[in-house]
């Protein structure tokens, strides 16, 4: 049985036969309709040619908007490189649910197995079973995270370029391949974005000189997972040391931060290509009872931070994520961020007058 509206004709009824002139008229009408649709799209203000530079940025925007909103689970491989050579790698089981809930557990290698990261959308727990340590921090609202990421994207579009390289299958899913480069066409990041969900299936990051430094990619992914009700909650073991990360610091202009800290910032004469100081996002923190300036640098995609304080400060036993701690003039400095050792040394050397 075929149910038709009053305007439905035999063209839409399976098995309907049309005469030669009728078929010709139907095909002509269909072609005209398609042509008019294409013409409408091409003159619409929001239309962007598929594969063009602006289209590539739109895909990146969609991937940002998809963060924390899509349910999936899968296995992900993480590989770290130095001088183009693999130096470390591990496998994760990743589970994501809407409202920015996630659970990531390390499966391999054995010495890292069981390391856990859990977020319920409000708080994030990092559990290190080998050292019996738990670090808990607050998670900004998802809307604010999206606004921040999209704002950074608008900034980097002024100095970076996005290029569509084609399609590739990752974990059984067809993905757009996008490469983001600096003004000298050096690659900064390459993304494989699911064409239907806009989840980033694979990410590669590069040093300022174009060498790969990080790769993360899914080997399996399932967009119809079933999660236990308590999967995104975490109760720290009784024998663990619990550390709480202070709430985010107030950001201010460089001049305001210098006034609050009581000293002027010493900026490096050398900064990796594409990076610049975010002068309106400086903060003031404390270490051993003394003020320290927190100076963030960004290329629009990646960031690193420098901390400056009085020379009499001593480095803590471990500065999480710190790449260097050194003294210059009347001050001590720390650098935190995903920079290769040679770039860190150049920054460090440029601090000496």
pLDDT for residue 222: 98
The gap between the terminal CA atoms of the chain, to the nearest Å, is: 87
Q: pLDDT digit string (tens) for 47-88?
A: 445 677 889 999 999 999 999 999 999 999 999 988 888 988
pLDDT band at 36 (very low <50, low <70, confident <90, very high): very low
Mean of per-residue pLDDT scores for the chain: 82
Q: Which of 299, 336, 342 is nearest to 157 (CA)?
A: 299
Side-chain-side CA neighbours of 145 within 13 Å: the count stands at 16
**Domains, the chain, ordered by start:** 53-244 (2.50.20.10), 254-350 (3.30.200.100)
pLDDT for residue 341: 79
pLDDT for residue 29: 44
Query: Stretch 189-216: mean pLDDT, rounded?
Result: 93
Number of helices and strands (H, E) in the chain?
Answer: 5, 18
Q: pLDDT digit string (tens) for 12-24?
A: 333 445 555 454 4
Phi then psi for residue 309, to 5 deg, are: -145, 180
Instruction: Say if residue 154's pLDDT is above 90.
Output: no
Q: Which of 306, 304, 298 is nearest to 149 (CA)?
A: 298
Phi then psi for residue 26, to 5 deg, are: -65, -45
pTM to 2 decimal places: 0.75
pLDDT for residue 263: 94
DSSP 69-103: T--EEEEEEEEEEETTEEEEEEEEEEEEETTTEEE
């Amino acid at each position: 049985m075929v149910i038709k509206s009053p305007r439905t004709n035999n063209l839409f009824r399976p098995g309907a036969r049309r005469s030669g002139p009728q078929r010709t008229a139907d095909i002509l009408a269909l072609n005209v309709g398609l042509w008019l649709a294409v013409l409408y799209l091409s003159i619409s203000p929001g239309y962007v040619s598929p594969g063009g530079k602006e289209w590539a940025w739109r895909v990146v925007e969609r991937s940002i908007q998809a963060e924390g909103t899509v349910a999936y689970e899968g296995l992900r491989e993480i590989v770290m490189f130095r001088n183009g050579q693999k130096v470390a790698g591990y496998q994760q089981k990743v589970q994501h649910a809407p409202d920015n809930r996630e659970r990531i557990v390390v499966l391999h290698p054995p010495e890292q197995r069981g390391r856990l990261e859990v977020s319920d959308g409000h708080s994030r727990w990092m559990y290190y079973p080998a050292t019996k340590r738990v670090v808990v921090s607050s998670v900004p609202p998802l809307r604010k995270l999206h606004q921040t990421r999209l704002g950074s994207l608008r900034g980097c579009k002024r100095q970076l370029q996005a290029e569509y390289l084609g399609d590739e299958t990752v974990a059984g899913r067809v993905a757009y391949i996008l490469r983001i480069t600096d003004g000298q066409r050096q690659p900064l990041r390459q993304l494989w974005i699911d064409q239907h969900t806009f989840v980033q299936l694979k990410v590669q990051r590069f040093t300022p000189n174009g060498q790969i430094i990080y790769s993360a990619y899914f080997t399996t992914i399932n967009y119809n997972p079933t999660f236990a009700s308590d999967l995104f909650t975490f109760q720290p073991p009784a024998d663990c040391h619990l550390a709480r990360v202070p709430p985010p610091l107030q950001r201010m202009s460089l001049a305001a931060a210098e006034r609050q800290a009581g000293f002027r910032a010493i900026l490096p004469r050398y900064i990796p290509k594409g990076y610049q100081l975010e002068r309106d996002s400086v903060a003031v923190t404390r270490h051993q009872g003394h003020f320290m300036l927190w100076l963030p640098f960004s290329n629009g995609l990646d960031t690193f931070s420098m901390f400056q304080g009085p020379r009499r400060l001593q480095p803590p036993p471990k500065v999480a994520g710190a790449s260097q701690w050194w003294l210059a003039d009347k001050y001590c400095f720390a650098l935190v961020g995903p920079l290769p050792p040679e770039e860190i040394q150049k920054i460090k050397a440029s601090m000496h007058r």
